[in-house]
Structure 1
């Protein structure tokens, strides 16, 4: 049985809600950042301006006109894509922790490692 891609996002959001209720600032920061990274990964490149009349005026120049002219469908990420985004968040925290260790900031390094460990729980075995 495969896990639907939205399942990991739902688990992250559920964890965020619980962390907010528990006032766990580290968990809230880690989960919000991971969810934002997923949202960023779903973004599509900005398309070239559509052919057709462009609105011009004193305040708005070169914008598209018409219903839906600025709408863009978001990318649909696979489960592997989502896991890769969360893994990237974990890897970033581990790398930054090593940097903080080198700077003598053990407190910040430990916080980042705890955040990485929390995010690790959202990935499969």
Structure 2
């Protein structure tokens, strides 16, 4: 099996979260989705498991952080600056919050942060590795 990452996220409203992630470009894998979970695929190696809070609680007794806290920030690479801006626009139009932190524009790297409807933080970023500064 190739190395992969499965990000598990508790969500308050599974259908709304599924629509949100689809609007950002994730695709649903119905083989691993039901009324308590949705497997949203970003790439062959990256999958996001959206879990109802009841389903989440079968994994851990640890409390679910409130949507106003940040337990993790997940960076995700995109092809260009326009794709970063488009993802933020899609997030804002589909129940998320765009620009929860100031945008980062270093010329060779451009990133912005968004929060999904449950407050999970994503940082779409574009980087021109050929233009990285020396040192």
TM class, shorter-chain normalised? Answer: under 0.3
Bigger proportion of residues as helix? 1
Q: TM-score, normalised by structure 1?
A: 0.24
The TM-score with structure 2 as length reference comes to 0.22
| Greater relative contact order (CA < 8 Å, ≥ 6 in sequence) | 1
Could you say which structure has the larger radius of gyration?
Answer: 1
